[in-house]
Amino acid sequence: MLKPKASHPQSSLVVLLTGAANGIGRATASELAARGFRLGLIDREASPLEDLAAVLSARGAEVGAQVADVRDGGQLTAAVAALETRVGPTDVLVACAGVGGLSTATDLDLDGFQRMLEVNVLGVARTIEAVLPGMFARGRGHIVGISSVAGFRGLPWMPGYSASKAAITTYLEGLRPALKRRGVRITTVFPGFVRTALTADTPFRRPLPMMEPEQAAHYVVRAVVKRPRDYTFPLSTALGMGLLRSLPNALFDLAMDDAGPKALTTDF
């Protein structure tokens, strides 16, 4: 378990969180607020975002909220400036905004793929770009990028989502040394399946063991506090997907030949 708020030396840090209004981001905002972190919340819909900010403020949290689309660098820069005026300079960025989607051989859904690349890859890069000048000026900062175990290998029913998460993982890895030299640390987080809007419509053949957003949030907060290079959770998924990642290609391909029909009720 994490230490209680009072003994936590980082609890007054400012965390800027994208994708804050729903799912893992919303639960993470709640747990961070409960632990005394100051929060700048960003999402693209005003109503759920303002609702969350009001709930957290009523509980005594110091919190600001700004609507911005992570695909728009100008909106992000303005949102970061407004939030930093409200809650202080960003110590930690949790880049959580993301979109997902399935595709089939007969419907590659390239529009959906484009959206995933724009939000999950470029959106994260744009958010990092918006906070970096301040972090460089202060000589410190921490960037937590939410990737996915789905990016460990190409998964047959979501090649676009897998590709977007592999891309952001590699991007963060490539960025790491240059940022480290300027005092900014990068943590890449790899959640397993979480029960959110992103997974709600997946036509799984059998109910899949999934974390609740609050459980996932607990791990994300641990990544904020412990600042590891990489963090995969839960342990069972880390072990299972770790094994899948290290399989020789021939074995992986054999396993995947069957995986789609076994996992989903729909053709792919």
Identify which range of 16-24, 32-40, 225-233, 259-267 contacts ligand NAP by CB under 6 A.
16-24
Q: Is the peptide bond preceding residue 203 cis, with omega within 30 degrees of 0? A: no
Distance separating alpha carbons of residues 87 and 118, to the nearest angstrom: 28
Residue among 186 and 198 whose Cβ is closer to ligand NAP: 198
97 scored as a contact of ligand NAP (CB under 6 A): yes
**Cβ partners under 8 Å of residue 55, min gap 6:** none
Whether residue 151 contacts residue 109, with contact meaning beta carbons closer than 8 Å, is answered with no
8 scored as a contact of ligand NAP (CB under 6 A): no
96 scored as a contact of ligand NAP (CB under 6 A): yes
Reduced to 3 states (helix: H, G, I; strand: E, B; else coil), residue 153 is: coil
CA distances from 190 to 31, 45, 65, 122, 151 (A): 19, 25, 26, 18, 9
Where in 110-139 is the site for ligand NAP (CB under 6 A)? 119, 123
Rounded to a whole number of angstroms, the minimum distance from the CB of residue 58 to ligand NAP is: 21
221 scored as a contact of ligand NAP (CB under 6 A): no
Distance separating alpha carbons of residues 168 and 160, to the nearest angstrom: 12
Question: Active-site residues: which are they?
Answer: 161
Binding letters toward ligand NAP, positions 228-257, x by CB under 6 A: ------------------------------
Q: Which residues here bind ligand NAP, judged by CB under 6 A?
A: 18-19, 21-25, 43-45, 69-71, 96-100, 119, 123, 146, 148, 191, 193-194, 196-199
